[in-house]
Amino acid sequence: MSRPGLRRAGLGALVVLTLTAPLWLANPYYLHILIMAGIFAILALSLNLLLGYTGQLSLGHAAFFGIGAYTSALLTLRLDWSVWAGLTAGMLTAAGAGWAIGRLALKLRGAYFVLVTISFAGVISLVSVNWMALTNGPLGLPGIPPPSLGPWSLRSKAAYYYLVLAATALAWLVCARLVGSRIGRAFVALRENEPLAESVGIDVTRSLVLAAVVSAAMAGLAGGLYAHYTRFVSPEVFLFTYTVTMVIMVVAGGKGTLAGPLVGALLFTALPEALREATSWQWQMLTYGVILVLLVRFLPLGIVSSLSAAIPRAIDQGAGPRALARPQPDGTAGAASSASRSELPLSNRALAVRDLAVQFGGVSALAGVSFDVRPGSITSLIGPNGAGKTTAFNAITGYLRVVRGQIGYGGATLNGLRPSAIARLGVVRTFQKTSVFPALTVMDNVMIGLHLRGRAGLVGVLSARRWVRDEEARLRTEAERLIAFVGLDRRRHAVASALAYGEQRLVELAVALAARPALLLLDEPAAGLAGAERDAVSDLVRRIREQGIGVLLVEHDMRMVMGISDTVVVLDHGVVIAEGPPTAIQSHPEVVRAYLGSAAAQA
Amino acid sequence: MQEGELVCLLGANGAGKSSTLRAISGLLRPTGGRIVFAGRDIQGREPAEILEAGIAHCPEGRRVFPYLTVDENLAMGAYVRRDRRAIGEDLERVCNHFPILRERRRQLAGTLSGGEQQMLAIGRALMARPRLILFDEPSLGLAPTVVETTFRIIADIRRRGTTVLMVEQNAYLALRMADRGYVMETGRIVLTGPAGDLLGNDHVRRAYLGG
């Protein structure tokens, strides 16, 4: 049997076993473990959405779990709501809390996000203990009703098992659809390289808040299911150990994978119970700890990721010197037609930089710089190292605060806009230090670049509408065309970090082009490329210009700069010392002194 | 390579040049083959051991410690050395080579411009006072005047008896100063010879010198 065949058969057997579990599991205790594993699987999936995909660690997930549990419990107990309405309300309340946390954590990443989530969980836990009138304090809320379906009560373990199984499947489906969509790609982009994600128009705040809301809603659902299963909630649901267990499940199972949280939840719910039977209590925690350490030591990426990495795949063959193919005419035409779809006519899209000043501490990096980039033309920015070229790039594209001056673009002012907003206007940049999404394939890199060309929102993605699937297919075709355009078609499925330096620069170029720029800022695109490859890049940049796109180029290869530029602007010590056509610049005495040196003759 | 030689490695992207350097300096573990330095097998050894044996690596892409000052970065280059006085002399020499580094001694390396970081990376490799130095794209992102300076410095290093193995896309400049060259394509060496011969070779001219 072939490998995919085997895989399908294995999965099929697993599904049958899962669906028939209450029939062959005679002991209700085992069924209980499976139900708890299902509830934890939903929690782990929800945490994985944040930790595994956006890369943000929430240590407050027990709070969303508890909010879901208490909300549903209180509504069914005090107001006699149906359990289904209670579960829904629990989800929505938790989602609201997730939204608040997401907004709070707006500017906070990494360690600060962790702190905010821990404090949040601490506060909610204190409220549950001390607001006696509402929560009955540490005594908890007993007698929570079980759900019923029409005339049937779902009181039995077998019935509840199917309910939890359905909820787990739903949670998994939500994750799977998100991850396979432009929304999920935006999450991963933030994890992999936030500045680059912003440069192609991904709104960081929106994406993080969305991830927090969906994640919190799922945790809230798990909380509600827990409350109506144990029929009792107390402040214990907020225990930090629950959060730690979730993190262990996600990390040991395989964060950033869809199956990892499921495997982790099953394993780490069943393991303590198995140990309880196998050893005396003194050894339980010790053995648990040893198993965990061994797992992390030998499967550092988690069970699922490590196993799937162990399965060898067909690897793309290395690209020879001629792999950097000449751009294909049809690819060019396609990109041109899509570029012209922007709202403003391209001819109006000129960049006008006036009296731009930027300071670092007391040092003035740019001291009043003015220049223009016309559509369909190439303007090069050259100058000694430290002259302020990259600073100008960062200021124009919103990565740096401007002290003084105006950056006008096609009637809009770019001053003070965020990088993603500037990208939406059609101004896209590349970075001097190679900047790709390292853990993703070339294809996925470019798909992220296409973010702004898709329109699918949360509802569309979750309901998997036909037009969303069509859009996805269209983006994929477009990505392949762009990859071919930069000459990386044979490397399509290679992971970006495994590519040679110069190939990574081409990936960057494809990602930037994918964002459909009307003005493209290229920071040393030919750095690290050999002679013939440089010529190919020059050719590429020319073809980009032919599409009516304005190009602002920073490059030290004078043969390239002088060969393709319409205008050259020379910066030194933060001011423009010369501006003009290449021929005039090449012989400009001050430029030769400050920058070109005698090498000008050889170049 | 013979002691005191300057050899350059040419090839397209992905040909395996950087991987070759990384295997020599121990950053990559070779799956097969031998690397002998000064009569000793060094393949598969730890990078620190190889550095102590006398091989310094200046990797491509401006690798500096961004949150250390320029001075501290240079001091890291001399991490395995014990001869304090000579370290001071070398620091002086590096600063003479790249005066901008002296001006920015107390600045965090991450705040330097790209080209300045490249100078710092070269300086740091020199601080190890190696017997063999591996340069990966030393001229990357440097202004033409500084490229000239950098090549002058490399020539100077070699005149003082240090052996140099260099990967450089500016093949013309590299070959003009090298003794010998190797051309790599998809993981193998396809051509080798004295630098002058390679400069005149049609294939090299077309693929790497550009027009």
Q: Please report the ipTM that was assigned to this predicted complex.
A: 0.71
**Smallest Cα distance from A378 to chain B, Å:** 20
For A555-590, the pLDDT digits (tens) are 988 888 999 999 999 998 888 988 999 988 888 888
Tell me the torsion sign for CA atoms B92, B94, B97, B102.
negative
Residue with tokens 């419990």: A73
Q: What is the pLDDT of residue A316?
A: 37
Q: What angle do CA A535, A571, A560 make, to 5 degrees?
A: 5
CB A287 within 8 A of CB A279: yes
Residue of chain B with shortest Cα separation from A601: B144
**DSSP string spanning B12-66?**
-TTSSHHHHHHHHTTSS--SS---EETTEE-TT--HHHHHHHTEEEE-SS----T
pLDDT number for residue A333: 36
Task: Report which of residues A482 and A346 the model is more confident about.
Answer: A482
Beta bridge partners of A232: A142
- CA distances to A373, A575, A581 from A578, in Å: 15, 9, 10
Residue A236's Cβ-side half-sphere holds a number of Cα atoms within 13 Å equal to: 9
**Per-residue model confidence (pLDDT) at position A104:** 78
Q: What is the pLDDT of residue A221?
A: 95
Partners of residue B147 in chain A, C-beta under 8 Å:
556, 599
Structure tokens at B30: 């070779």
Structure tokens that stand for B209 in this block: 């010198």
Asked if B14 and B8 count as a contact pair (C-beta separation under 8 A), the reply is no
Query: According to the model, what pLDDT value does residue A106 have?
Result: 64
Give the pLDDT confidence score for residue A336 in this predicted structure. 37
The predicted structure's pLDDT at residue B210? 57
Above 70 in pLDDT, residue A500? Answer: yes
Q: What percent of chain A has pLDDT over 70?
A: 92
DSSP-assigned letter for residue A518 = S
| pTM (predicted TM-score) | 0.81
Helix (H, G, I), strand (E, B) or coil at A573: coil
CB atoms within 10 A of CB A328: 14
Beta strand pairing call for A351-360 and A404-409: antiparallel
Name the token pair of A228: 């109506």
Low-confidence ranges of chain B (pLDDT < 50): 211
By C-alpha distance, which of A390, A324, A385, A380 is closest to A358? A390
Q: What is the Cα–Cα distance from B107 to B69, expressed in whole angstroms?
A: 5
Q: Tell me the per-residue pLDDT of A311-352, one tens digit each, with 9 for 90 and over.
A: 644 333 333 333 343 444 333 333 333 433 344 444 567 899
A600/B contact by beta carbon, under 8 A:
yes
Nearest CA to A558 out of A526, A593, A502, A600 is that of A600
Q: Which residue has the tokens 């083959």?
A: B33
Q: Please give the single-letter amino acid code of residue B193.
A: G
Alpha-carbon gap: A313 to the closest alpha carbon of chain B (Å):
19
- For A146-189, write each residue's pLDDT tens digit: 888 877 777 888 888 999 999 999 999 999 999 989 999 999 99
For the beta carbon of residue B183, count every other beta carbon within 10 angstroms.
25
Nearest to B207 by CA among B177, B171, B164: B171
Whether residues B145 and A603 touch (CB distance < 8 A) is answered with: no
Give pLDDT, residue B144: 84
Shortest CB distance from A384 goes to which of B143, B206, B210? B143
Helix, strand, coil percent content, chain B, rounded in steps of 5: 45, 20, 35
pLDDT value at residue A550: 92
Give the Cα separation of A257 and A261 in Å (integer).
8
pLDDT at A219: 94
Question: What confidence score (pLDDT) does residue A2 get?
Answer: 64
Of A48-52, A318-322, A525-529, where does mean pLDDT reach its minimum? A318-322
Mean pLDDT score, A92-121: 86
Asked if B12 lies within 8 A of A384 by C-beta distance, the reply is: no
Q: Are A441 and A493 in contact (CB under 8 A)?
A: yes
Q: CB-CB: which of A529, A535, A556 is closest to B144? A: A556
pLDDT at A320: 35
Task: Return the pLDDT at A598.
Answer: 60
Sequence-ordered list of residues with C-beta below 8 angstroms from that of A105, at least 6 positions apart, any chain = A56, A112, A113, A116, A117, A208, A212
Nearest-by-Cβ selection for A532 from B16, B112, B206: B206
A7-19 per-position pLDDT tens digit: 788 888 888 888 8
Considering only the beta carbons, identify the residue of B112, B116, B144 that sits closest to A596.
B144
How many CB atoms sit inside 10 A of residue A333's CB? 12
The candidate with the shortest Cα–Cα distance to A210, out of A441, A56, A418, is A56
Q: What is the pLDDT of residue A288?
A: 84
Whether B12 sits inside 8 A of A385 (CB atoms) is no
Q: Alpha-carbon distance A267 to A215, whole Å?
A: 22
Name every chain A residue with its beta carbon within 8 A of the beta carbon of B143.
382-385, 556, 595
Which residue matches tokens 């402040």? A235
**Among chain B residues, CA nearest to A535:** B210
Which residues in chain A have Cβ-Cβ distances shorter than 8 Å to B210? 530-532, 534-535, 559
Q: Which of A445, A479, A453 is closest to A338 using CA atoms?
A: A453
Phi-psi region of B58 (alpha: psi -120 to 50; beta: other; left: phi over 0): beta
The residues, ordered by sequence, that sit 6+ positions from A286 with a Cβ below 8 Å of its Cβ are none
Q: Is the pLDDT of residue A50 over 80?
A: yes
Over 60: is that where the pLDDT of A302 sits?
Answer: yes
Q: Which residues contact A75 (CB under 8 A, 6 or more apart)?
A: A81, A85, A86, A89, A90
Mean residue pLDDT of chain A comes to: 84
Q: Is the CB of residue A499 less than 8 Å away from at least one CB of chain B?
A: yes
Q: Do A599 and B62 touch (CB under 8 A)?
A: no
Q: What is the full DSSP assignment across A186-235?
A: HHHHHHH-HHHHHHTT--HHHHHHHHHHHHHHHHHHHHHHHHHHHSEE-G
* Contact assessment for residue B112 and residue A383, using Cβ atoms and an 8 Å cutoff: no
Report pLDDT for A37.
92
- Decide: B145 and A596 in contact? Cβ < 8 Å: yes
Instruction: Tell me the chain B residues in contact with residue A390 when contact means C-beta distances shorter than 8 Å.
Output: 113-114
Nearest to A385 among B113, B187, B206 (CB): B113
